Amino acid sequence: MNKVRAGFTLVELLVAILILSIGLVGLASTMAAMTRWQMLSASRAEMTLLADGKLERLRAAGAVLSPDTAELRIGGSVDTPADPHTDIVVGPSSRRFVLLWSVAAGPATTRDVRLRVRPEVDVPQTPAKLDFATLIALKQ
């Protein structure tokens, strides 16, 4: 009489565990990469928000053109801090960022503004820098 055995052999069980382990390691590395990308995206959005706020303040200064519009004087650099073309701001995440901008004469009565946002402390979850450019109309 032949007996039929039901179940798995030890070798089959070990192969199944190995395949499952490889899949789980791949899934874990994908989750880690997605977390890094999400943090980078959030930092980029925060830096863009800060740059937009600064550019709006510069536009408002150009519309008023009062004596305190030193921020719109021609000069500055996006590479090297220079007063009055430098700000250090704290973002919504409580991280500190450096805003550097340069101002050049633009067409007619405008100023060509280049703005760079960079983290005060370099961390892997934050872009090294983001650059923006705009023309700002001065009050006539």
Backbone φ and ψ for 84, nearest 5 degrees, come out as -95, 30
Q: How far is CA 124 from CA 35, 60, 68, in A?
A: 12, 34, 37
What is the spatial distance between Cα 83 and Cα 94, in angstroms, rounded to a whole number?
24
- Which one is predicted more confidently, 71 or 113? 113
Cα torsion 58, 63, 66, 67 to 10°: value is 40
pTM score: 0.77
Beta bridge partners of 99: 87, 117
**Model confidence pLDDT, tens digit, residues 21-56:** 999 999 999 998 898 889 889 999 999 999 999 999
**Model confidence pLDDT, tens digit, residues 75-129:** 999 998 988 899 999 999 999 999 999 999 989 888 999 999 999 988 887 888 9
